[in-house]
Amino acid sequence: MNDATQKQVFSLMESVFGAPDGTVNLETTHDDVENWDSLNIINLMMSLEGAFGVSLDAEEAEQMLSTALVIDILESKGVE
Amino acid sequence: MTASLADRFPVGHTETLTHRVSEAVIDRFEAFSGDNNPLHMNTEYARSKGYSDRVAHGVTSLAWLSALIGTRLPGYGALWRSLRVDWLQPVFAGDEVTLSARVEAVSAEHRMLTLAVSASNQAGITLLRATAEVSVLDEQARVSASSVSTRPDRSRTAGQHTETQETILVLGGSGAIGSAIAEQLAGQGFSIVIGYHANEDKANQACERIAHNKGNARSLRVDVAKMSVEDLQNQLDELPAEFQRRAGLVVAGSSPLLFHAPEQISFEEMETMWRSNVRALWLGYHALRERMTENGWGRVVALGTSALVGTPPARNAAYVSAKSGLWGLVKSLALEAANDGTTFNMISPNMVETDYVRHVPKRVKMVEASKNPRRRLAQPEDVASLAAYLFSREADFINGCNLPLTGGGVMFG
């Protein structure tokens, strides 16, 4: 995934989780973000689907436990 | 064991023992000796006499000298004959006392050792000097003492390469977990035989790392699927003398994971997995059984999986059923073969980060790590640490256990 796309993902996550700008990075996990909960994961799925034109399923939602995993899932859908 | 006394305990041979003198130690000494002198029991009184704290009973250090003589130099068979002691400095609550005993003279005729003893504290200040004479009972006495399931010789020879050093056969020793266990146990003074099947290079690399750290290891090709007990025994017998006191077995290998769905699994696949696990324990146990019984001390540790108690992973039926069989054999041996001083246990980690799971998708590993309460996968060193504990004297009563090593990722009970 290129840097610009990565930044877009970080920014989407910050927006969904209500985290301050610049706080989400490649190392961020669900331990680091207060609002990383099941409701917001649904919101994140919808944001990602809208932004990248991909379709995400429930199993993938369960796997979204860190930024690295979110990126891995998007990459497996061909997001570059 | 026909070595002469002077061979076993050459002049200059030294053993040490360190203990901390806690307040509880002083209180317990008072309780059984009745010596309640306030210099020992009352901090204010001791300070009024110019000491910084309660002064430990001088004889306390000699109790630990008794342990040093009785368990290490010369160990079992010791009969303490005489002692001359000069107390030089007081010992206070909280001090760490290191006792050292050095062989000064050996009398073959009287089977007697003269030991020069000293004790020092954590600051290096000499607390006492003493001379002790100890006779050494004959070999027969030592053998009968060793029939209790403690370890008569290892503490004396730890770190040295002698004919009495205990040897552990690590089957699957070229793999990441097996070699981590081998290296950890070598660091504790065991001689190691690394049993490998295909990967001779990795087995030899593990031996080199052990040698680099002043340990003692050899590699040996062992085809656990086919080798006979006699063949394994013969090959072990051909190893040098320092590998002959065989007292432990680790079963850490397993044939490769194929991730087949149940309908794809052939009986050959099941059998291969079964042989690499259950037959490995059967083979190693039979090859070592006699020596472990003679020693009166043995340890067998098999590698299991947390899948045995939790929900098994999909597409692993051959692996999970073979590990279940292995656990069944561990339990049966723990019941029927432990009374000669050998214990049998299993360590069951969840996914360990090794080459063995290289075909497991990266995302599955990331999810497993992220969901684990410890936020990581198990490492080979985690398994090695638990194995090392099972090989310790302190683990004597742990038998027939399947010990979870999951970081809380799978919880038992």
Closest CB from B363, B366, B375 relative to A31: B375
Interchain contact, B363 vs A69, CB within 8 Å: yes
What is the per-residue pLDDT for B358?
Answer: 86
Interchain contact, B370 vs A72, CB within 8 Å: no
What is the per-residue pLDDT for A31?
Answer: 92
On the question of pLDDT at B332 being above 90, the answer is yes
On the question of pLDDT at B359 being above 50, the answer is yes
What is the per-residue pLDDT for B111?
Answer: 87
Q: Does A77 touch chain B (CB under 8 A)?
A: no
Interchain contact, A31 vs B362, CB within 8 Å: no
On the question of pLDDT at A27 being above 80, the answer is yes
Residues on chain A touching B375 (C-beta within 8 angstroms): 29, 31
What is the per-residue pLDDT for B164?
Answer: 52
pLDDT tens figures, B234-276: 999 999 988 999 999 999 999 999 999 999 999 999 999 999 9
| Average pLDDT rounded to a whole number, residues B357-382 | 93
Residues on chain B touching A69 (C-beta within 8 angstroms): 363, 366-367, 370
Q: How far is B264 from chain A (nearest CA, A)?
A: 25
What is the per-residue pLDDT for B163?
Answer: 41
Q: Please tell me which residue of chain B has the smallest CA distance to A74.
A: B363
pLDDT tens figures, B148-200: 434 434 443 333 434 458 999 999 999 999 999 999 999 999 999 999 999 99
What is the per-residue pLDDT for B3?
Answer: 67
Per cent of chain B over pLDDT 70 is 92
Task: Count interface pairs A-B at CB distance under 8 A.
Answer: 24
More confidently predicted of B366 and B393: B366
Q: Please tell me which residue of chain A has the smallest CA distance to B369.
A: A65
Q: How far is A63 from chain B (nearest CA, A)?
A: 6
On the question of pLDDT at B44 being above 60, the answer is yes
| Average pLDDT rounded to a whole number, residues B207-221 | 95
Q: How far is B40 from chain A (nearest CA, A)?
A: 52
pLDDT, chain B, mean: 89
Which of A12-21, B7-16, B169-178 has the weakest average pLDDT? B7-16
pLDDT band at B18; cut points 50, 70, 90: confident
pLDDT tens figures, B61-82: 899 899 899 888 998 888 999 9
Q: Please tell me which residue of chain B has the smallest CA distance to A66.
A: B370
Contact at 8 Å (CB) between B283 and B267?
A: no
Q: How far is A30 from chain B (nearest CA, A)?
A: 8
Residues on chain A touching B362 (C-beta within 8 angstroms): 72
What is the per-residue pLDDT for B296?
Answer: 85
Interchain contact, A63 vs B363, CB within 8 Å: yes
Q: Does A26 touch chain B (CB under 8 A)?
A: no
The model's pTM is 0.65
pLDDT tens figures, B92-111: 988 889 999 999 999 888 88
pLDDT band at B23; cut points 50, 70, 90: confident
Interchain contact, A69 vs B375, CB within 8 Å: no
Interchain contact, A72 vs B362, CB within 8 Å: yes
On the question of pLDDT at B144 being above 60, the answer is no
Residues belonging to chain B with any Cβ–Cβ distance to chain A shorter than 8 Å: 362-363, 366-367, 370-371, 375
What is the per-residue pLDDT for B140?
Answer: 42
On the question of pLDDT at B210 being above 80, the answer is yes
CA distance B226 to B239: 21
What is the per-residue pLDDT for B336?
Answer: 93
What is the per-residue pLDDT for B146?
Answer: 38
pLDDT, chain A, mean: 95
Q: Does A64 touch chain B (CB under 8 A)?
A: no
Interchain contact, B363 vs A72, CB within 8 Å: yes
ipTM of the complex in this document: 0.79
Q: Please tell me which residue of chain B has the smallest CA distance to A70.
A: B363
Q: How far is A28 from chain B (nearest CA, A)?
A: 11
